[in-house]
Chain A
Amino acid sequence: MEPSDEALCERVARRDEAAFDLLVSRYQERAYRLAWSILRNAEDARDVSQEALIRLYETAGSFRGRSKFSTWFYRILVNLCLDHKRKHKWWKLWVRDDDDDRSNTILDRQPAPVNDPVDKLSREETLKALGSAVDRLAPRQRAAVLLRVQEDMATYDIARVLKCSEATVRVHLHRALATLKKTVEKR
């Protein structure tokens, strides 16, 4: 039987390299994808997700098993992403972010196009607008939405990742989705 994440984390705390490698292989893609969804930059996402895995190695001993391992790890990751966004906010005001991947992701990665060109245009415009609206959400709202839709996390777990109450998460989700809904309704 495959060892649980929690059991592997205990072994990592005892500096078991094989357990660490196994946890890395389980979480590297999810960590990178979530970091990219929040940061919208492949290089930053790679750096931040790797940093989260290093922190996992360094602080595995502080995992007490009160929450699921995934919740504990996502807290490290999301905090790093939010810190990264905060630190780079002033810089992005001055420098145009040419490496930013947001311009070509929403449309390029959509499922097969619709046959009707008018429908297609309208759909593409809606997707583009929605993608921009997601990018404009406040960082914590965006993190809450992404944890919900990408990681399928429950409100309780999102609250633990964002270190806030469930009521606050509900408000974050409500506000974020209301903003996105308005974007769709305008189209």
Chain B
Amino acid sequence: MARHPETDLVPYLRGELAPAERERVARHLEECPDCKQDTELLRDLIGNLAHFVGQPPEVNWARYRAELHEKLEARRARIAWWRQPTPLALSASIAGVLLFLAVWGGRELTKTPDTIGPDEIVMAQDLGLLQELPTVERLDLLEDFEVLRNLDGLASDHQG
């Protein structure tokens, strides 16, 4: 038996299928009791669903239309306000300011940063000292010798 034409059953009941499709579904229903039963259930369900869905609460249609026209007027007024010269000029000014900020900010961002800052200049001046590094190291050593030489004095100071 061919596949069950599940999704074709609703269009079949409404008579929407093309003749060949309709024929195929009808033939299937003759051979398949399950699909035939399903089709009957669907027919009842579709027929009764409108009742199940029910009716909405009553509406005062004159008031409904009055509200509708009020809303439409409000919408028109809002659109008209935007089309007035003042809001247009205001929008144009804001757009201009934003554009200026965007361009100016962009330029600031694209500026190349200073490669040598004041700290670096000071450090560069001190570079000469580094050239004398062996001497400086030796000075540290001499300083250490001085401490050693005065070690007795330090000890007496500590005791006193």
With A174-B9, A177-B45 as given contacts, are A110 and B53 in contact (CB-CB < 8 Å)? no
Chain B residues touching A, majority SS: helix
Could you tell me if B54 and A106 are in contact, using CB atoms closer than 8 angstroms? yes
A149 partner, pick from B16, B49, B71, B72, beta carbons under 8 A: B49
* Residues in A neighbouring B54, C-beta threshold 8 A: 105-106, 108-110, 131
With A154-B14, A174-B9 as given contacts, are A42 and B65 in contact (CB-CB < 8 Å)? no
Could you tell me if A111 and B51 are in contact, using CB atoms closer than 8 angstroms? yes
Question: Closest chain B residue to A39 by CB distance?
Answer: B56
Question: Closest chain A residue to B65 by CB distance?
Answer: A24
Could you tell me if B68 and A24 are in contact, using CB atoms closer than 8 angstroms? yes
Cα of A156 to Cα of B64 in the assembled complex, Å:
32
- Asked if A80 lies at the interface with its beta carbon under 8 angstroms from chain B, I say no
Could you tell me if B45 and A50 are in contact, using CB atoms closer than 8 angstroms? no
- Asked if A161 lies at the interface with its beta carbon under 8 angstroms from chain B, I say no
Could you tell me if A177 and B55 are in contact, using CB atoms closer than 8 angstroms? no
Could you tell me if B46 and A177 are in contact, using CB atoms closer than 8 angstroms? yes
Size category of the binding interface on chain B: 20 to 34
Cα of A55 to Cα of B7 in the assembled complex, Å:
34
- Asked if B59 lies at the interface with its beta carbon under 8 angstroms from chain A, I say yes
* Residues in A neighbouring B10, C-beta threshold 8 A: 148, 155, 170, 173-174, 177
A contacts with B, residue count (CB < 8 A)? 48
Question: Closest chain B residue to A110 by CB distance?
Answer: B51
A24 to chain B, nearest CB (A): 6
Could you tell me if A45 and B56 are in contact, using CB atoms closer than 8 angstroms? yes
Chain A 85-121 interface 0/1 with B at a Cβ cutoff of 8 Å (1 = within): 0000000000000000100011011110000000000
Could you tell me if A174 and B53 are in contact, using CB atoms closer than 8 angstroms? no
Cα of A27 to Cα of B56 in the assembled complex, Å:
15
Cα of A101 to Cα of B55 in the assembled complex, Å:
10
Residues of A within 8 A of B (CB): 21, 24-25, 28-29, 32-33, 36-37, 42, 45-46, 50-51, 53-54, 57-58, 101, 105-106, 108-111, 127, 130-131, 134, 145-146, 148-150, 154-156, 167, 170-171, 173-174, 177-178, 180-181, 184-185
Closest 7 CB pairs of A and B: A36-B56, A170-B7, A105-B54, A149-B49, A109-B54, A174-B7, A42-B57
